[in-house]
Structure 1
Amino acid sequence: MLKDMLKENIRILDSVDNWQKAIEIAAKPLLEKNKIQLTYIDAMIKNIKKFGEYIIIAPNVAMPHSRPEDGVNENCLALLKLDKGVAFDNGEEVQIFFILGAKDNNSHINTLTELMEIVDDEEKIEELSKALTVDEIINLI
């Protein structure tokens, strides 16, 4: 369940300098709990530089991720909500970052399905982008 996966992995910040920093900050709780390795964060950033902004999955929402073999120790999810969006190289701004870590190619499908239900709900994304506390975010998920 998303709430359980996210519970202690949500950060809210006013702003960050760039999208790379946003990914590092969003992934930090997962790194601290040893759910991912530093190599996973590096791989996410490298992939975006190589393949472009494919991680922007809806207006204002990005889902950075990489391959399981890039350093995922267990299935995990984290969220960073920025009060002021950060621009990617294509000019698109993002306020909500969901970091997804999958330990294999199949076990994260349920998490992804639940996550897409939220992302597809424009009203919910709007409410998430205005949330001021972690509790508010948890209640919206």
Structure 2
Amino acid sequence: MVALSELIPPEAIRLDVAAPDWRAAVRAAGDLLVADGTSTDAYTDEMIQNVVDNGPYIVIAPGFAFAHARPSPAVRRTGMSWVRLAEPVEFGHDANDPVDLVVALAAQDSAAHTDAMAALARLLADPEQHDRLQSAATPAALHALLRSHDGVEEPAAAPEPASAAPDAGRTGTEQHKILTVCGNGVGTSLFLKNTLEQVLGRWGWDRQVSVEATDTISAKGKASEAVAILTSREIARTLGDVGIPVKVVQDFTSTDEVDHVLRDTYDV
């Protein structure tokens, strides 16, 4: 398990950065990845092009953009950076603009950073912790907050009654499957997967429903294996009709919103 504070070292944190627009904000986060040897300038260009090609789906919560692109030769190792903006900028997202925090991810694959992303999702979903992150005076102070959250699990709530759990999947497998989808399959889809798994755990459905994070291309081929897709509005438009329900989530860090979407999916 790679801890969040390991993936975001103090030197990969910049606070109160001036950026005239979203491109400059993403580039500032990418420059930090380049500076500590995580990736090259080419990867920063790929993160920006990802938004150009797929829209502002990386703005996954109010005020928060999770910049990333596909794993590529421009990624030297898995790492992250943190940029808090002096003034918020518009990415063009219907619900979550303007953005004052950009966290960038450069991933060699979709495996090593999943626990760190779960920790980050919990941090940003906690209003008290979010306020502390926003008011941290120095990179060292912010890194200390990240380090204090390494390995901290959210306490489980009482599960739903066992009778509410779904039966065997529509394809006859032991589990239902839900896909969480983003443009690249290693960034925002993993964020949403972590939040959905928290809700399933609270309900006591985590043995009956599995969650797979994937990209838009793979999702079309895998749709027949799943009961539903959870994704952003922009990616839902890209997917179109895939033969199963496609549910839009605005705030990928909100267990309350995901709980509502899951109830709507299963009509409970």
What's the TM-score, normalizing by structure 1? 0.89
Alpha-carbon distance in structure 2 between the residues aligned to 1:103 and 1:3: 18
Alpha-carbon distance in structure 2 between the residues aligned to 1:51 and 1:5: 26
Whichever residue aligns with residue 97 of structure 1, its letter is V
Whichever residue aligns with residue 5 of structure 1, its letter is L
Name the residue aligned to 2:4.
2
Judge conservation of contact 2:37–2:76 (CA < 8 Å) in 1. Answer: yes
Alpha-carbon distance in structure 2 between the residues aligned to 1:58 and 1:4: 23
Structure ranking higher on relative contact order (CA contacts 8 Å, 6+ apart) = 1
Match of 1:125 among 121, 130, 134: 130
Alpha-carbon distance in structure 2 between the residues aligned to 1:21 and 1:34: 20
Whichever residue aligns with residue 103 of structure 1, its letter is Q
Distance 1:4 1:107, change over 3 A: closer
Name the residue aligned to 1:35.
38
Judge conservation of contact 1:11–1:80 (CA < 8 Å) in 2. Answer: yes
The answer on 1:137 being equivalent to 2:142 is: yes
Alpha-carbon distance in structure 2 between the residues aligned to 1:70 and 1:52: 23
Alpha-carbon distance in structure 2 between the residues aligned to 1:70 and 1:24: 18
Q: Which blocks of at least 5 consecutive residues in structure 2 are unaligned?
A: 147-268
Tell me by how many angstroms 1:134 deviates: 1.1
Partner secondary structure for residue 131 of structure 2? helix
Name the residue aligned to 1:67.
70
Match of 2:82 among 79, 83, 88: 79
Distance 1:70 1:47, change over 3 A: farther
Whichever residue aligns with residue 51 of structure 2, its letter is I
Judge conservation of contact 1:15–1:85 (CA < 8 Å) in 2. Answer: no
Whichever residue aligns with residue 78 of structure 1, its letter is S
Tell me by how many angstroms 1:139 deviates: 2.6
Match of 2:50 among 47, 51, 57: 47
Judge conservation of contact 1:18–1:87 (CA < 8 Å) in 2. Answer: yes
* Structure 1 segments (4+ residues) deviating >6 Å: none
The answer on 1:96 being equivalent to 2:98 is: no
Q: Which has the larger radius of gyration?
A: 2
Deviations 1:72-110 (A, max 9, x none): 111101000113211113471111111111101222212
Count of aligned positions:
141
Deviations 1:26-83 (A, max 9, x none): 1212112321121211111111111111111211111100111262111101000113
Q: Which blocks of at least 5 consecutive residues in structure 1 are unaligned?
A: none
Distance 1:59 1:39, change over 3 A: same
Alpha-carbon distance in structure 2 between the residues aligned to 1:65 and 1:36: 11
Whichever residue aligns with residue 115 of structure 2, its letter is N
Whichever residue aligns with residue 4 of structure 2, its letter is L
Tell me by how many angstroms 1:14 deviates: 4.6
